[in-house]
Structure 1
Amino acid sequence: MVDGFYGDFATWSEALKYSNGYNNPAILEKVKSAVLKVKSGEAVYERDSVLFDQIEYSYPLLTYLLYIALANGNKLNVMDFGGSLGTSYFQCRNFLTHLKSLKWNVVEQKHFVQCGKKYIEGDHLKFYDHMEACIKAERPNVLLISGVLQYLENPYQILQEMLGYGLEYIIIDRTLFIDKPDRLTVQIVPPSIYSASYPAWFFNLNRFLTSFTNQYNEVDSTDSFEYCRLDDGVLAQSSIILFKRKS
């Protein structure tokens, strides 16, 4: 079967039967190898372990981050949930080095955190294995959720936990939405990246936005460069959305 998104599964456990999940150690090793090349200057940019000759900037993301920094005395303190080994940090850092203060904190699975602390961590980039530990240590002013909610078994439950921390700003990035009810698929990763498959959600945008209405206002949103079609032709469009906590 070629790479792409397949099926409409009733449960996470059912989708898991047709996938091999994230636990393949080869995934971490490939990501680590790519990120180390970016950190050392041997490569320019990495996304999903793939190296690029030039950085594919997300200008909406940069705009939101700089807007938040400006509103906080030119200080930016990011909690990057599911941020791999710092992909978004390395993507954005060239536009953020002039800030008075820059802290970028990745919250990830323990094996990613262990690898990040040993090989990647630096003055601006730190790694934590739980949101609460990150918040206590760093007091971030923005939560970045980029390309991760769709790969969680209970995304709305985790999202409510995140909202409960009450961070001033939240950015939703690289999240694919459909105009149909939420749908659970299996994603087959292109072999050129690595051999893997895992469950993947597509969220109904209106339902997703209702999760924020009690605590946050939507400041801005725009479609991003990523989109795809599911196996039955349904179009999924990636969006980036900025929320600000209500007073």
Structure 2
Amino acid sequence: MKNLMIALRSRFKLTREREATPVNGYVGRFEDWQTAKSQTLGYQDPAIARKVAGAVQKILSGSAPYERDSVIFENREFSFPLATALLWVATKAQGQLRVLDFGGGLGTSFFQNKPFMSWLSHIEWSIVEQPSFVEQARVLFANHSLKFYSSLTAGLQNAKPQFVLLSSSLQYVEKPYEVLTEVTEAKVDVIMLDRTLFSSESSDYVTRQYVPQSIFPATIPTWILSKEKFLEYMQQKYRLLSEFPAFKSTINLDRDGRNLQELGYLFVLKGSAYELALNEK
């Protein structure tokens, strides 16, 4: 009987916690990543990679233009800041483009903006992702030009990118400034962020993102970065070219009423041929 009562109390507690869990959105404030991560299912769940792979099969078969987080889009919506930046970089390199897409899933941004790149003489699009995604990619893209790496170090060394894209990815890694340091120290010519959460506070903090069950069941630790701190760091070695509103902003999903911004940034390496070209008259 005692064991039964303990089991019932545990079940009741779990039920109450589930009922209290938001359907979706950003909730809570945590000063460290591990606390926010505890007792959550994040992107590491292999089932997520399998579901995304199922959606990508439809893209490759031509039945849909692109997907994001396994959600199929029947109509293509371009990211014009990204497309413009990619074409600018390629134009300065005689139609050649080498992109390293950090946290790019199974090619979301590539397929989304593919029509703009069809005229390029040479394109190499490489993606850094979790091992579960790379495993799916080996099967899906065995005869495709997309390349996949399970570490940023390998991606930078092998792809030798002119352009690094961090779209809705930097806030989902435990140590975002280690990622930025590795990219900036590699002296990549152009860096673009998109769909990244910022606050006006002087320091970063962590929240939790509850993903809608209709997409996949996950609760994900998510950094809200200090805009001031981020820009100060990036502008040590890079020139800021543009700040723009994020493509498909999700700040309306903040359940705590915070004054957040979801932004994109375009940076060019100081002293690079791309920066010098900006000064030409």
Cα deviation digits, residues 148-187 of structure 1 (max 9, x gap) = 1101111112211221111111011111222234221111
| 103-112 vs 173-182, which moves further | 173-182
| 219-228 vs 60-69, which moves further | 219-228
Long gaps (5+) in structure 2:
1-20, 272-281
How does 1:135-154 map onto structure 2 within 5 Å? 135-154=156-175
Q: Does 1:228 align with 2:251?
A: yes
Q: Does 1:217 align with 2:244?
A: no
CA distance in 1, matches of 2:190, 2:46: 33
Equivalenced residues, count:
247
Long gaps (5+) in structure 1:
none
How does 1:144-223 map onto structure 2 within 5 Å? 144-180=165-201, 181-223=203-245
Larger Rg: 2
Higher share of residues assigned helix: 2
CA distance in 2, matches of 1:118, 1:206: 42
Q: 3-state SS of the aligned residue for 2:242? A: strand
- Identity among equivalent pairs (%): 38
1:78 to 63, 82, 99: 99
After TM superposition, give the deviation of residue 19 of structure 1 in Å: 1.9
| 170-179 vs 16-25, which moves further | 16-25
**What letter is aligned with 1:91?**
Q
Higher share of residues assigned strand: 1
| Aligned residue number for residue 77 of structure 2 | 56
Runs of 4+ in 1 over 4 A off after TM superposition: none
**What letter is aligned with 1:175?**
T
Contact 1:227 1:237 in 2 (8 A): no
Contact 1:61 1:240 in 2 (8 A): no
Contact 1:18 1:186 in 2 (8 A): no
Please give the root-mean-square deviation of Cα atoms over the aligned residues, in Å.
Answer: 1.5
**What letter is aligned with 1:202?**
I
What is the TM-score normalised by the length of structure 2? 0.83
| 72-81 vs 233-242, which moves further | 233-242
Cα deviation digits, residues 16-60 of structure 1 (max 9, x gap) = 125222222210111000011111112222011100111121111
**What letter is aligned with 1:186?**
R
Q: 3-state SS of the aligned residue for 2:230? A: helix
Contact 2:46 2:132 in 1 (8 A): no
